[in-house]
Amino acid sequence: MTEQPSPSPQPGEPPSPAARRLLLVHAHPDDESINNGATMARYAAEGAHVTLVTCTLGERGEVIPPGLAHLSGAALGQHRMGELAEAMRALGVDDFRLLGGAGRYSDSGMMGLPDNDDPGCFWQADVDQAAGLLAQVILEVRPQVLVTYDDDGGYGHPDHIQAHRVAMRAVELAARDGWDLPKVYWNRVPRSVAEAAFARLDDDLPALPFDKAGEIGDVPGVVDDALVTTEIDGTAYAAAKAAAMRAHATQITVAEPYAPYFVLSNELAQPLFTTEYYELVRGARTPGGRESDLFAGTGTGSGTTAGTGEAS
């Protein structure tokens, strides 16, 4: 039986120590579904309180469908906010927020473009100020687990790098002000898993609605297997993840009928992972193989471990 979701703490009221609370920090709408959709759906279904903080509305994203190609700037941002809400419904997540409120920070565009110099873009944000806004969320929700990107943002996008900086600084600020967050993870994909998935993609490509396959370098956060500490089996939530990704229609096309592949605006097919992988960078790792629960060792999760390293 599915547990009832853990209630969000009321202002001034500490949350129950036993309630599991997961916070994810992402740069744009769609990043959460691609990187963590199965994890979010699984924990939401199991009764954890899942909170998503998105730092921008992705106003400079490239639009895939011709019928939506007229969208740009603020209009695209508003549309993507609607896509985000639909994706969260697919994942069963009720608590999703824009850092500082909608429009506080705008999309910075790809690294090296003049867009990076826009004083209102996230790349130009004062890290301590933005981290202070996120720390307020941490102090309200008091998550045991935070998930974000590594220091390269997974693939070098300025907003992803900035989301990493802001998230890690917010953890420090929240600890100073009373909530020492037990565990922080970075998104990862083991190299062996990526290699196996792209080998399958090469075999499956003739039957897909896509013409060309991408490369491992197109997948953010691919690292040597030894760096991966945690794998979350979300295969039971594959349909929810695919639905969430499909909701981000301006940015993602998922193979139809359902197949574990998708394309972004570059039209290069890549795998849709339903087992999702992480590197623990703050907090104590439980003994044994890879963790199979982000909450392991926090006193709120199962604390079980697994470590097959198999592709999914």
Residue 287, pLDDT score: 83
Please check whether residue 161 is in contact with residue 152, taking contact to mean a CB–CB distance below 8 angstroms: yes
Residue 190 neighbours by CB under 8 Å, 6+ apart: 222, 223, 224, 225, 228, 277, 309
Report the distance separating Cα 28 and Cα 142, nearest Å.
Answer: 23
Residue 199, pLDDT score: 98
Q: Which residues of the chain have pLDDT under 70?
A: 1-18, 258, 301-312
Q: What is the DSSP string of the chain?
A: -PPPPPPPPPTT-PPPTTS-EEEEEESSTTHHHHHHHHHHHHHHHTT-EEEEEES---TTPPP-SGGGTT--HHHHHHHHHHHHHHHHHHHT--EEEETTSTTSSB---STTSGGGG-TTBGGGS-HHHHHHHHHHHHHHH--SEEEE--TTTTT--HHHHHHHHHHHHHHHHHHHTT---SEEEEEEEEHHHHHHHHHHHHHHGGGSS-SEE--GGGSTTEE-GGG--EEEE-GGGHHHHHHHHHH-TTT-EE-TTT-SEEE-TT-EEEE--SEEEEEEEESPPPSSS-BS-TTTTTTSS---B-------
Q: What is the DSSP string of 228-278?
A: --EEEE-GGGHHHHHHHHHH-TTT-EE-TTT-SEEE-TT-EEEE--SEEEE
Residue 160 marked ligand-binding: yes
With b for 16 or more beta-carbon neighbours within 10 A and e for fewer, the 190-212 pattern comes to bbebbebbbeebeebeeebebee
| Dihedrals phi, psi of 143, to nearest 5 degrees | -70, 150
Residue 13, pLDDT score: 53
Residue 31 marked ligand-binding: yes
Q: Which residue has the tokens 């920070």?
A: 105
Q: What is the pLDDT of residues 63-98, one digit of tens each?
A: 999 999 999 999 999 999 999 999 999 999 999 999
Residue 229, pLDDT score: 98
pTM above 0.95, yes or no: no
Q: Give, in order, the Cα–Cα distances in Å from 112 to each of 108, 116, 184, 251.
A: 10, 7, 29, 21
Amino acid at 142: R
